[in-house]
Structures are given as structure tokens and as C-alpha cells.
Structure 1
Amino acid sequence: ASPSGLCLSQKITAPEGTLLRPSIRAVPSSVVPKGAEVKLYCQGPQGSKSVQLWKDEAFSLQINTSREEAEFRLQRERISAAGSYSCRYWQGLHWSEFSAPLQLVVTGFFSRPSLQVRPSTMVAVGETVTLVCQELINSSFSKLAFFLLKAGMPAPLQHQSPEGKMASFTLPSVKAEDAGNYSCVYSDKANKRASDPSDVLMLEVTGERRHMGVHLPPCPPYMGLWGS
């Protein structure tokens, strides 16, 4: 059946199975403090279409638009706004596939974790860096999720759901663009509320990789075939 506002006489814009997959993004970010206003944008092709927003694999909202991006505004101070979002659109006589999921994290409910770096906050290009995020309050939560954040990025770089109270995030073979300010948060997977961000850790990446081979002494001066 077609969604509300569409009828079977409408022109089919694409055969079944050929609709482009939409994408979803959060503005200003997918990690926001409680009380912040968040807008979710679902991007698809131009033309009249119905767009659905799904949260945690359940239908949430639907709007009609002819723009490339459909805007969904989430209310302020909604704890329940945290979760996994995806979207899809109806065009012609078919639904598109769902977008890749976007995890919306709402922070400010628990004490901040610690963030440490190994081997150092200053590393060379090509080295491997490990960032360790640890929950410090010894909470009774049965399952935690950890998120690694970088300033200027609209979404977490990585996330993990370890068995314990600590997560190790690896940046293999770092590049110059990996330099920057990092922080982390953790959330209770049961209700998805997240902690305050950790203190910021600044990672510096230098241009030369340290060589770990055997250091050889310089060769003696050349004395000729028979010496001197």
C-alpha cells in the first residue's frame, strides 16, 4: 500500500530496487548535551516523496517534501531522543532501502570518564596510538558503551561495548590529520543516557617516524686497498 498522500496513478520515477540509498546526518552533531536542539536530515533524490524517520528499528515520524533533504527537529531536553536513527523514502511506487544507522548520543547524565593515551601524546607518522577511556565511578550498570570523539567531527570516530568498565580505541598507522583534540563518553546501554565528556587530550603527530633498528657506528675512513 502507498503512504498517505500518494496514489497509484503517480509517475514511477525509478524501477524497484534502483532507488538510491538515503543518508542521514545530525546537526550540530550526533553527540550533544542534554537540553540541546538537534536536527536530523535525511538526504535523498530531488522530487516529491514521503520520508520516514525510524528510531531503534521502530517507526517514528513521516513528512512529505520535494527537497533533497528532509528535516526532522527533535525537541529540547528529551532524554528519549538518544538512540539509533535511520531513514527511508517513498518515491514512485517503492520504498528505498534504509540509510546507514546514525547513533545519537545525549551527554550530561553521569560523571566524566578518564582518557589516557599510549605511548604518548606526541607520536610520529606511521606509529600506532591507543586511547583508553575508563569509567571512574564504578557504576552498577550491567553494560556500557564507549564513544571516542574528536573535536570538529560531527560523529564519534569509534564506539565499543566491552564487558568491563574500560575501552581501548586504536588509531593504527597515524597520519598528520589524526592530530587534534580527543575526548570520550560512556553511556548506559539500557537507557542510552551518556556521561559528561572526559577532559580533552591533545594528540600531536610529528613528521618523522622513529626507527627501532640497531644503531651502527660510522664506517672508518677509507684507507685504500693496501692501507697507508
Structure 2
Amino acid sequence: MALQDRGAVPNSTSKAWRDWRRSAPWWLITGCVWARIGGPRRGRLGGGGALLDSPPPPRLPSTPGFNRPVLSVEPSPLAQRGSYVALQCSAPVQAVRFRMQKVGIQSSQVEQGPNSVFLWNQASFFIDYISEASAGPYTCRYLYKASWSRPSLPEELVVTGLYPRPAFWAQPGQVVAQGGSADLLCQSHLGLPHFAVVKERRVFLRMNSSGSLISFRIQAMTKNHVGTYYCYGYSPLSPFLWSHPSKALMLEMTDAAISPAIFFSLAQLSLAGLSLLFFGRLGTKTLVRWWSRRKPPGPGEARV
């Protein structure tokens, strides 16, 4: 049967298909076969009308009111008076504007655009000179599709260097056995009743005291407690204005605890070994002298 139109493909079960396959070009036959067995599969519709075999549709951002930005302070939320910091607000979507505000002070609102065309979801607000007025909690928002998001969780900016440094030490010492306990003691020379212990420039613990001395207890020493610590004192009337940091206190951990009995036995063995070494060398020298005196004199030598 002669085909009037080579572009029309007959049914594969009919004689016309076999005749068409003999007369059609090879590239057309290859395309038809690929379309039947090797082409993209069609997805099956599920109960909700979604394609079960196809990838899920891209997830659209939810309502901005349910997406909080993340606020951080760089290089640290503990800033020395006279230094500078950057408040960085990060949004989960590409934002148009950002707004920074100190909690409770409406007049402190500042707005700006993203950092650059490559970082549409971030904005940095700089404080060039840290003073007492800079201390306090901050929040930020971002503008997305003509709507402002919910505020971020508050980030506290603490200004240090307002009072003299407190004394800071560890009992029984800075080297603690694994699983052992230690007390970190901090004392303010001005009688400040509130204290904070900072590890690696992050607040580790805060405590209040009825006097000027406070003790931070470590119940069981682990590798997470190893590091450098500082202590600060502050007044309850100004919780974001702290003293100068104390001298650095470095906690170290030994592999295992050594009981007093084992320690005493090791000390005895060490003393016994030193005594044996001393008397052994003394006896060797005495024996050498005695043996040299017993040696008979050679020809031409006089016996003493």
C-alpha cells in the first residue's frame, strides 16, 4: 500500500505499518521508536490531582508574617566600649528592604536595602562607636511583597569595660580529671551582685549572688567544658553594662581520675627508684676503686 503522507504514522499492528517501515527514512523510524519506548514517561494522577511520577512543584515562600529573620552581632555580642560592631539581619527570602530597631525605642528605627545585588537576603547595620547608649536588645524585619515580616528574636548587645575587672579562679585547680568536679569562683571588688561567665566570647552562664562572691559549679568534667573562660560583673539596674573581663582562666582535662591511694603508691615507687639508682651508682664507684687497688703492679711500678 502506497503511503500518501510520510508524516502520518500507521498503527504498529497493521500491514500498513510494516509497509511504511520499509519505505520510511531511517531517522523517522528511529524517532517514532524512541517516542514510544524511550521518551519521557507521563505521570499518573493521584487522588489530589498531582503527578505521582513527576517531581514536586517548587515550594513557594509562605506568608512573610510566618518567617522570622535571623539577627546576629559580629564579631561578638560582647563589645568593648569604644569599639564597633555590625548587626547582620538575614532573611529566608530575597527581601527589598530591612529595618533595624532597638527594642522599646521607636525612634531608633533604621532602614536600608540589601548588602549587594548578590546578597539580596542580608543587610548589615554598623555601629561605628560603642557607648553605653548602644547596649540593649535589638530586632530586625524585612520587607517582602509589600509586607513587613515579624521581628526577629531579640539579640542582646552587651557593652563591657564599665567597671574594674573581677577576680576569677578555679578550685581545686585549672586541671580537672575527666568526670571530676570543679568550682569557678568570681569576686567583684565593687560588690556587684550579678555575674556572667563567658566561654569563647559567648555567654556561658549567668548567676545572681547575695554578696560580691559567686561560685559556678561544674559537676562532671567533659571535653565540652575545656576552654578559656572569663568572668564579668554587672549591676541589676544596668544588665547590659558589664565590667572589664577578668583574667583568662583556661580549664584543662586529664584522661582519667587518679585516686589518692594510687597517687601515693606511684610517689613511693618513684622515690624507691631514685634511691636505687643513687646507691647503685655509689656502689659501682666503690667497687671500681677496690678492684683497682687489688691489681698487681707491673714491671717498673712500685706498690703504694
Q: Would the TM-score normalized by the shorter structure come out above 0.5?
A: yes
Q: 2:195 is matched with which residue: 146, 171, 177?
A: 146
Q: 1:155 is matched with which residue: 195, 202, 208?
A: 202
Once the 2 structures are TM-superposed, how far is the Cα of residue 176 of structure 1 from its aligned partner? 1.6
Q: Deviations over 1:78-109 (max 9, x none)?
A: 22111122323332354434333322221222
Q: Is 2:243 the partner of 1:186?
A: no
Which residue in 2 is equivalent to 1:72? 125
Larger strand proportion of the pair: 1
Which residue in 2 is equivalent to 1:53? 100
Larger helix proportion of the pair: 2
Contact 1:28–1:39, Cα closer than 8 Å, also in 2: yes
Distance in 2, matches of 1:175 and 1:32, equals 29
Unpaired runs of 5+ in structure 1? 1-11, 213-228
How many residues align? The count is 195
Give the fraction of aligned pairs with identical amino acids, expressed as a percent.
28
| Structure-2-length-normalised TM-score | 0.55
Amino acid at match of 2:143: W
Question: 3-state DSSP class of the match of 1:32?
Answer: strand
Higher RCO (Cα < 8 Å, 6 or more apart): 1
Which residue in 2 is equivalent to 1:208? 256
Q: Deviations over 1:17-60 (max 9, x none)?
A: 532x3222211211121110111112222312432323244343
Unpaired runs of 5+ in structure 2? 1-59, 261-304
Question: 3-state DSSP class of the match of 1:126?
Answer: coil
| Structure-1-length-normalised TM-score | 0.71
Contact 1:14–1:92, Cα closer than 8 Å, also in 2: no
Question: Which structure 1 residue ranges, 4+ long, deviate > 6 Å from structure 2?
Answer: none
Amino acid at match of 1:63: Q
Question: 3-state DSSP class of the match of 1:80?
Answer: helix
Distance in 1, matches of 2:74 and 2:64, equals 31
Given the superposition, is the C-alpha separation of residues 164 and 68 from structure 1 closer, same or farther in structure 2, using an over 3 Å criterion?
farther
Q: How does 1:68-147 map to 2 (within 5 A)?
A: 68-92=121-145, 94-138=147-191, 144-147=193-196
Amino acid at match of 1:40: L
Which residue in 2 is equivalent to 1:223? none
Max Rg structure: 2
Over the residues paired in the alignment, what is the CA RMSD in angstroms? 2.9
